[in-house]
Amino acid sequence: MKKIGIIGGGAMGSGIAQVFAQKGHSVALYDTNQEALNRSKQNLAKTFEKLVAKEKYTEDQAKEIQENIEYVSDLVAFAEVDLMIEAIVENLEIKQTVFKQVEEIVSDTCILASNTSSLSIASIASACTKPERVIGIHFFNPAPLMALVEIIPAVQTQEGLAEEIKTLIQSVGKLPVITKDTPGFIVNRVARPFYGEAIRILEEGIADTETIDFAMTSLGGFRMGPFELMDFIGHDVNYRVTESVFEAFFYDPRFKPSFSQKRLFEAGYYGRKSGRGFYNYAEGIEKKAPSQDQALLEKIYNRILVMLINEAADALFLNIASKEDLDTAMTKGVNYPKGLLKWADEYGIENVKNDLDELYNHYHEDRYRLSPIIRNMVKNNQTFY
């Protein structure tokens, strides 16, 4: 078993610690804030009380797992770790500083990983004297429950390290996918149109939030509609990710943020957590009934779906990940009812092309440009699977 060092005692770091401890690894969880460590320990104890009550573990097993985690406030405890995973604030300079500090303490063979969801692994690795041992290991929140883990080798990462990490992640019961070090990796890149195109439909006055959400849950089988989901995630998080992905893609119009969401963010209307977002969560306020116009619902569903498919197809075209990993990432990372490339085959590759060409011809905007892979597939009468 490996010794794992985790930096950050928040929900993410604690969740990752639990994942490894449950599989018998010894974990050192570090935070500069002693209160955060105490809270992490208490929360884990409560979690295991519930798991014992549900008969998932015996009391002895629960005790043993909790004893696998050591809560430390000094990085010296990382001298013997085999793998360090950093799960702190999404700030490049802070992460680079932490990696520099850690590199002075750990052994030469220790692997250094970041749990970043959006920052460049190459930039983080550049702060190290041995950048070849740096890699991205992106767990999804809550880590103990979410199956997906994105593994991101940087341009500096030594060959074979991604496969080694993939094996380790599989051994702790997770589903790893390997992705190139590009903005948003797989999930945060491919999922953008689910939000962006829904807002665009709203801004154009084609339909209201209730109807757009209903179209995606009733026809698409999504667990939540885009507006419900954005309110659930919080606009302080979702808008910032949209903005950072747009900037990171050299302001590609496909990832352009919306003023509607920006204004909610500026107003502090973050969604459920603040009581108001696209919906008002005050007591006694009910959502309006969605339109039952089948033609309108299909128009909304088709438009958002083909935009999602186009994004997944373009990621494949640019060799960001394999088609299997792209589909796994969307079903296991954001609970989509189907992998988007499988969905494309079902919907019809030619239908995807025609719908997107129609949008492009109508708007003459680059956000609707069709990925070359789809045009080629139509020409050669191919499918993804």
Residue 25 annotated in active site: no
Are residues 213 and 340 both part of a single domain?
yes
Length of the chain as a residue count: 385
Does 125 lie in the same domain as 198? no
Measure the N-to-C terminal CA separation of the chain; round to a whole number of Å: 38
- Please check the confidence at residue 2 and state whether its pLDDT lies above 90: no
- Whole-model pTM? 0.94
pLDDT in tens, 124-151: 999 999 999 999 999 998 999 999 999 9
Look at residue 135 and give its three-state secondary structure. Answer: strand
233 with 153, same domain: the answer is: no
**266 assigned to some structural domain:** yes
Query: In angstroms, what is the C-alpha Rg of the chain?
Result: 22
Place 118 in a pLDDT band, splitting at 50, 70 and 90.
Answer: confident
Give backbone dihedrals phi and psi of 253, rounded to 5 degrees, phi first. Answer: -60, -20
| Nearest residue to 287 via CA among 173, 210, 356, 232 | 210
Domain-located, residue 256: yes
Final residue in a domain of this structure, among 178, 207, 232:
178
Question: Cα–chain-centroid distance for residue 92?
Answer: 18
Answer yes or no: do 361 and 235 share one domain. yes
Catalytic hit among 114, 120, 188, 371: 188
* Predicted local confidence at residue 177, as pLDDT: 98
Residue 184 within a domain = no
Mean pLDDT of the residues in the chain? 96
Whether residue 148 is found in the same domain as residue 226: no
Q: Any long-range contacts for 14-17 (C-beta under 8 Å, 24+ apart)?
A: 14/40, 14/43, 14/44, 15/139, 15/141, 15/142, 15/143, 15/144, 16/85, 16/87, 16/115, 16/139, 16/143, 17/44, 17/69
Catalytic pick among 103, 150, 197, 210: 150
For residues 135 and 208, membership in a common domain is answered with: no
Residues 217 and 303 in one domain: yes
> What's the CATH number where 288 sits?
1.10.1040.50
Quick one: 221 and 314 in the same domain?
Answer: yes
Closest to 362 (Cα-Cα) out of 246, 258, 206: 206
Could you say which DSSP state residue 133 is in? G
> Which has the minimum average pLDDT: 107-116, 159-168, 234-243, 292-301?
234-243
346 is catalytic: no
CATH code (residue 169)? 3.40.50.720
Residue 223 scores a pLDDT above 90:
yes
Q: What is d(CA 72, CA 84) in angstroms, rounded to the nearest whole number?
A: 14
- Rounded distance between C-alpha atoms, residue 256 and residue 67, angstroms: 47
Report if residue 385 sits inside a domain.
no
Choose the final residue of a domain: 178, 210, 237. Answer: 178
Mean pLDDT of 208-220: 98
The pLDDT tens digits for 39-88 are: 999 999 999 999 999 999 999 999 999 999 999 999 999 999 999 999 99
- pLDDT > 70: percent of the chain: 100
d(CA 40, CA 221): 36
Residues of the domain holding 259 = 189-379
Smallest CA-to-CA distance from 149 within 160, 136, 138, 161 is with: 138
Percent of the chain with pLDDT over 90: 96
What is the reported pLDDT for 224? Answer: 97
Q: Are residues 57 and 147 in the same domain?
A: yes
Indicate if the pLDDT at residue 353 is higher than 70.
yes
Q: Are residues 276 and 345 in the same domain?
A: yes
86 among known catalytic residues: no
* Mean pLDDT, range 292-312, rounded to an integer: 98
Q: Which pLDDT band holds residue 100 (cuts at 50, 70, 90)?
A: very high
| Confidence check: pLDDT of 1 > 70 | no
Write out 317-377 in H/E/C secondary structure. HCCCCCHHHHHHHHHHHCCCCCCHHHHHHHHCHHHHHHHHHHHHHHHCCHHHCCCHHHHHH
User: 283, exposed or middle or buried, with CB in 10 Å at 0-12, 13-18, 19+?
Assistant: exposed
- H helices then E strands: how many in the chain? 17, 8
117, 120, 244, 371: which one is catalytic? 117
Q: Does a structural domain hold residue 282?
A: yes
User: What's the mean pLDDT in 304-329?
Assistant: 98
From the list 26, 120, 138, 244, the catalytic residue is 138
Number of domains in the chain: 2
Q: Report yes or no on 183 lying in a domain.
A: no
Residue 330 lies in a domain: yes
User: Is the backbone peptide bond immediately before 142 cis, with ω within 30 degrees of 0?
Assistant: yes
Same domain, 67 and 201: no
Closest by alpha carbon to 277, among 213, 185, 370?
A: 213
Do 38 and 171 belong together in one domain?
yes
Q: Is residue 309 part of a domain?
A: yes
Last residue of a domain, one of 178, 197, 229: 178
Strand, coil or helix: what is 76? Answer: helix
Per the annotation, the verdict on 115 as an active-site residue is no
